[in-house]
Amino acid sequence: MRSTANRPYSAAALVLGGMGLFGLIDNFMRLAAETGGLWQFHLLRSVIALTVLFPLAWIAGISLSPMRPSRVAMRSVLNSIAIVIYFGCLGFMPIAQVVAGLFTAPIFVVIFSMVLFGEKVGPRRVFAVILGFVGIILALRPEAGDLSVWTVVPVVSGALYGLGNLVTRRWCADEDTMTILVGFFGMMMIWGALGSLFLFMHPLPVPEGGDGFITRGWVPPEGIFLTMIIVQAIGSLIGVGMSIKAYQLADATMVAVFENTLLVFATFWAFVLWGQAPDALGLLGLALITVAGIIIAMRSGSPAA
């Protein structure tokens, strides 16, 4: 049963713990990418997550049948593609840039709300969108010789994730969280299976190390790759569970603001573990994206699902 108590400090601790966990475990994806494949990773991670979710739903007596299957499916497709792109980029790009791209989602929620749903947006949120895009340019700016299509791919992830969140709020607000999670991991498993099958039938050139993460076919799941599959599966469930509980304990606007700390945690762990730190302009870009997300969250009247 959903808690109605307002416990902001407990909620803040939970969401900070979840973001800290994600910031840590996502930093180790660069090690998994050295020997593993993206599609096999998503397939096996999703199988483990669903193996945990189904018994939990049965014990709790929760029906996993969606009330609006087509809408849950649409939400699952959008968010799963966003996360496939996110993890693919983690294999060969600095994590601060990848997370910055994903966390442009609130900016795209505002844009899609205007374009697709005709929502009126006030000057503060328009300012936040402009501020956020300045932050994107500063955080993702490449050297002249490194400019390529991959530079903006993390932002595509953020756009799809933002649209998926908008669909969640407008179309799936009455669905049980467990149902949405099963839909998401089920779609991730499908993408993983399709990608693995395609690479089995049509092998592609595989560069050495993390550069081969996307095109690498099936490999024996062992060592650090197997460890990261298990850690990501369990860690994702724990982190998402902490965020869900946080939304149950406090106002959704406050929780959404604290979720922006993933940028901070990801950058912090990248520096501690790998000595990887953005320069001054990069840090300014991350800060602008964070501030834009906070402004948008504070100006959003409806709670996030």
Closest by CA to 253, choosing from 11, 3, 5, is 11
pLDDT of residue 59: 92
Q: Would 1 be classed as within a structural domain?
A: no
CB pairs under 8 A, 24+ apart, for 145-154? 150/89, 150/93, 152/101, 153/85, 153/88, 153/89, 153/101, 154/85, 154/86, 154/89, 154/93, 154/97, 154/98, 154/100, 154/101, 154/102
Which range marks the domain in which residue 123 is found?
27-298
Q: Would 115 be classed as within a structural domain?
A: yes
- 83: amino acid identity, one letter: I
- 304: amino acid identity, one letter: A
Query: Which segments in the chain show pLDDT lower than 70?
Result: 1-5, 140-150, 244, 247-248, 250-257, 298-305
Distance CA 41, CA 55 (A): 22
CB under 8 Å to 122, separation ≥6 — which residues?
Answer: 299
pLDDT of residue 287: 86
Q: Would 8 be classed as within a structural domain?
A: no
**Cα-to-chain-centroid distance, residue 63:** 25
Closest by CA to 104, choosing from 47, 157, 51, 40, is 157
Whole-model pTM: value is: 0.83
Q: Would 64 be classed as within a structural domain?
A: yes
**Cα-to-chain-centroid distance, residue 227:** 20
The owner of tokens 């991991």 is 185
What does the buried/exposed string (b/e) look like for 173-204 if buried means 16 or more CB atoms within 10 Å of the residue's CB?
A: eebbbbbbbbbbbbbbbbbbbebbeebeeeee
CA torsion through residues 274, 280, 285, 287, sign? positive
What does the buried/exposed string (b/e) look like for 285-296 if buried means 16 or more CB atoms within 10 Å of the residue's CB?
A: bbebbbebbbbb
Q: Would 90 be classed as within a structural domain?
A: yes
Q: Would 303 be classed as within a structural domain?
A: no
Q: What are phi and psi of 186, to 5 degrees?
A: -65, -40
Q: Would 255 be classed as within a structural domain?
A: yes
Q: Would 100 be classed as within a structural domain?
A: yes
pLDDT of residue 27: 92
pLDDT of residue 68: 92
Number of domains in the chain: 1
Longest alpha-carbon distance in the chain: 56
Q: What are phi and psi of 122, to 5 degrees?
A: -75, 170
pLDDT of residue 244: 66
Token output for 61: 């007596």
CA torsion through residues 214, 217, 218, 220, sign? negative
